[in-house]
Amino acid sequence: MADPITFHTLTATNADVLRGADVFDNPVDAIQLARFVAEDSHLMVFAMAGQRVIGFASGAILYHPDKAPAFFVNEVDVTPDHQRQGIATALCQRLFEAARTAGAQGIWLATEADNVPARALYRRLKARETTGNVVYDWDGAMDV
């Protein structure tokens, strides 16, 4: 029988669960993890199957002097063996609710035009898809 899927909001208390998780692009760095958790504007939810982290969604509330707070979704990922089970949808729904509760008045993200699974996810979540945006980066920000 498969382990039940549970969902969690990242806190200082449960952050160590992420160490050693293979769902991230790179190994979790203890210093970066502590910095992420220490910032109230940084939010993450994650999913577990038993004791294994199988997915996460993260982002940050962005503040600006002349705009309402907006939430930028930085990343959503689910391990390949747990994809197409609604986990990413559930993670995003929980992340969006946490962002709204924290005061965000808008939510946005960007993805590659050829990222068909991500675009399908965001459509399922009733996102408005825009066109004509161009992304620029410095110092290799888009390399990972």
Q: Taking a C-beta distance cutoff of 8 angstroms, is the pair 30, 15 a contact?
A: no
What is the DSSP annotation of 37-69? Answer: HH-TTEEEEEEEETTEEEEEEEEEEEEETTEEE
Tell me how many helices (H) and strands (E) the chain has. Answer: 3, 5
Q: In what order do the strands lie in the sheet with 52-64?
A: 5-9, 42-49, 52-64, 67-78, 107-108
Enumerate residues 6+ apart whose C-beta is below 8 A from 11: 37
Intra-chain end-to-end CA distance of the chain, in Å: 35
Residue 69: pLDDT above 90?
Answer: yes
* Tens-place pLDDT, residues 2-21: 889 999 999 999 999 999 99
What are 16-63's pLDDT values in tens digits? 999 999 999 999 999 999 999 999 999 999 999 999 999 999 999 999
Residue 77 CA to residue 54 CA, distance in Å, equals 8
- The predicted pLDDT at position 144 comes to 62
Query: How large is the average pLDDT for residues 62-69?
Result: 94
Residue with tokens 């390399």: 143
Tokens at 105, concatenated: 């008045």
pTM, rounded to two decimals: 0.91
Question: 75-126, pLDDT tens digit by residue?
Answer: 999 999 999 999 999 999 999 999 999 999 999 999 988 999 999 999 999 9
2: DSSP letter = P
Separation CA 17–CA 15 (nearest Å): 5
Please report which confidence band the pLDDT of residue 1 belongs to, taking 50, 70 and 90 as the band edges.
low
For the chain, give the mean pLDDT: 93
